[in-house]
Structure 1
């Protein structure tokens, strides 16, 4: 009986550790996503300020 309890405790600890690893990976991925969106926003602002977007879609005059 004691052996079973120890096994269950070990399994629960492993599941908790796995959950922490998954949570950390999700948090890191979210930060990467936020950085990519910020970089994309900055590139769009720069392109707009240089009139690149208009030139691409309307054509250079």
Structure 2
């Protein structure tokens, strides 16, 4: 995997990645549903929920609230 962040990948937390995946999956789910791709939209919504769960699981105790 290439390092597009100029050596700063160590500053990205698992929570950051999960949050990003959640946001992108939610947007794609909305787009899929709007285009009549119901099953794909459902799968993407499930992915968004799982990413949210992972983000919460990896949250620092102060951030989990």
Q: Which interval holds the TM-score relative to the shorter structure?
A: 0.3 to 0.5
More helix per residue: 1 or 2?
1
TM-score of the pair, normalised by structure 2: 0.39
